[in-house]
Structures are given as C-alpha cells and as structure tokens.
Copies of this chain bind each other. A is one copy, B any other.
Amino acid sequence: MGKVVTLGEILIRYSTEKGQHLEDSSRLFFHYGGSEANVSIGLSGLSHDVSLLSVVPNNPLGQGALQHFRKYGVRTSDVYYSGERLGSYFVEVGAGPRATSVVYDRKHSSLAELTQTLWEDDTLFEGVDLFHVSGITPALSDELVDITCDLMKRAKESGVRVSFDSNYRAKLWSLEKASSVYKQLLPYVDIFSAGKLDAINLLGITPLEETASTVDELTYYSQKMQEIYPNISVIYSTTREVVSTDENYLQGNLWIDNTLYQSRNMHVPYIVDRIGGGDAFSAGLLHGLLTKDEYQHSIEFATGMSVLKHTYSGDSLYISEEEVENFIQSDSSKINR
C-alpha cells in the first residue's frame, strides 16, 4: 500500500439528536473531524500508511484528537501542540424535507493562528507516494497559503504526487481571494477534485451552455482545466441528487487519460450522516490511484465508499478494502448471518 501525507485542520463537531433543535439540546454528540483528517482515516482503513500534519492545543481536547486519529491508525508524530483552541462547528441534524444546518465557530483556531511552518524536516516526504490537502487549509490564513504552497513544492521536488481537493467554503474566503491562491497552488497539483462551479468561479472558465448533458459538461470543464494546468492528470468529482435530507443519489466522476469514467448512480435511501461523504469519496478514489490502474473500478469503489460513509455517523469512515469491495459487488441488503 501507499505512504501518504496530509495537511489540514482537526475540527470538533457538536451535533444534536435528529429532530432536536440546537437551542433545546442538553447533550450534544462530540466528534473529531476535518476534511483532510477524514481523508487520512479513510486511507488508513484501506491499509495505507498515513501521516497527518496539523496542530492542536495542548489540552485534553487536543490530546483527545491525537488519541482519536491514533485509534484509526493515522500517524500523529507530525501533529504539534500549538495555539489555544480547536475550531468547532455545530450541526443541527435535518430530517426529511428540512436540511441539516451548520453553525461554525472555527476562528482563532490553533492551525489558523499558526505563524510559521513546523514541518521543515527534509525527510518529510521520503518514500511518500501522495501529499493531500484541501482548499480549506489555505483558506484559514495567509500563513497557511505559504505553508501549503511550500509543502506542495517540496512534495513535487521529492517526486510525490500532489492531491488537492477544491472544497471551496464561502464562509472562509471570497471567490476572488480563493482564485488568486489557486493560481499559486494549482501548478503543483496532479490530482484535482473540482466540479463545474470550481471551474467557472475559481478558474475562470467560460460556462458551457445550459443544455449540455452532464457527460459533456464534465468533459468540457475537465479539458478546460487541463488546458490551463497541464500538470493536472486526474480530475474527479461527485454528482449528488438530493431527494431529501435522508435520501440522495450519488454518482462519481473520474477524468483521466482524457477519458471520463462514471460510477453507477448509487441510491442512498436512508442517510445516517452525510457529513464527510466527500472525504470518504476522496479517500476511496486516492486508494484506487495508489493501488491500481482500473479506473472504472476505482470510481465505483470511491462512490461505494462514500455511500457507506452515509450509513455511519461521524465525520470519517474507517473501513477495510474488503468491506467496500463486498458492498459494491453485492446488490442487496440481506442480513449477513
């Protein structure tokens, strides 16, 4: 299996029970999450050797974060104590026609207030196959733009593939700011998770006419992005149809070798927890790129892994390759006994 390094923030998530107002709750569920952190756990479950680069405060909340990631096999030797708080967010879990709503309280976090890189060790990328980061990390501060850029550069120099998940969050930065940062980062990127809106809003690609089919759209925007950044060899995304908060359809899209591979359009008729679904998808897809060259299978695998994430609570999914394989090959929900 591969050796992976990720960079990103660990967040605390507080969530209500389904059907409860946040205002009326006297207990909240407490989970650790964070986009790249979730990808790390996903890849660790699939047997990769994953190390997370991050910072946490030196208090029980930070220590608990380390224990959490260690439990799922993620190496935390490059997570340092620094700063004073973990960013957090509050989830009022939706139901049926009512969407889940999120309140953030993530400013002034340990990572957001980091003033200089802590990962200067020359051996950081030794033997590493992949470096993964999302757009959330550089959105946290100008310092993190520099740190992200520096690590991407060093990864490239060490022959490590660079994976970047756009993951644009309007609450963190403007489209203008993000666009300008992306221009700095994308020249180093090999694997890019981005969709139509990223292409238009962040890379400035002219929108295709509205009547185009999904396949045409995916092909058009992928090609256009590769025109600008020929270094990008893989582009992936999901197409999600929201029937209700509890029922979605999910289809994975993988653009590689100038070809579009699409998974089946998978039905998720009952959703336990959608948060982290995209990160599980990334983990599944990166797993495919790290281990095989069967692209059709890789996109099925990634989508299946994302679907499975929807059936578990918590931000991340720690599950074996075998379980995902069994899932995408089975076609029923019989009890296994």
Nearest chain B CB to A51's CB is how many angstroms away?
A: 15
List residues of chain B with CB within 8 A of the CB of A99: 330, 332-336
C-alpha gap A100/B31 in the complex (Å): 22
Contact with B along A49-73 (1 / 0, CB 8 A): 0000000000111011001101111
Within 8 A of B (CB), among A266-302: 266-275
Stoichiometry (number of copies): 6
* Interface flag for A157 (CB, 8 Å): no
User: B19, B70, B84, B310: which contacts A273 (Cβ < 8 A)?
Assistant: B19
Would B244 and A333 count as touching, CB distance under 8 A?
yes
**Contact flag A20-B332 (CB < 8 Å), given A61-B103, A90-B61:** no
**Contact flag A22-B60 (CB < 8 Å), given A242-B334, A335-B99:** yes
**Contact flag A72-B67 (CB < 8 Å), given A100-B336, A267-B97:** yes
List residues of chain B with CB within 8 A of the CB of A63: 23
* Interface flag for A220 (CB, 8 Å): no
* Interface flag for A219 (CB, 8 Å): no
Nearest chain B CB to A304's CB is how many angstroms away?
A: 9
Nearest chain B CB to A12's CB is how many angstroms away?
A: 10
Nearest chain B CB to A301's CB is how many angstroms away?
A: 15
Q: A21-B60, A102-B337, A171-B337 are in contact. List 4 more A-B contacts (CB 8 A).
A: A61-B103, A85-B105, A94-B335, A97-B307
Please name 27 pairs of A and B residues whose Cβ atoms are closer than 8 Å in the assembled complex, sorted by A: A14-B30, A19-B272, A19-B313, A26-B30, A27-B27, A27-B30, A28-B28, A60-B101, A61-B90, A67-B71, A70-B71, A70-B73, A84-B105, A85-B105, A95-B312, A96-B310, A97-B266, A98-B327, A99-B333, A99-B334, A101-B336, A101-B337, A102-B335, A104-B337, A171-B337, A242-B334, A247-B270
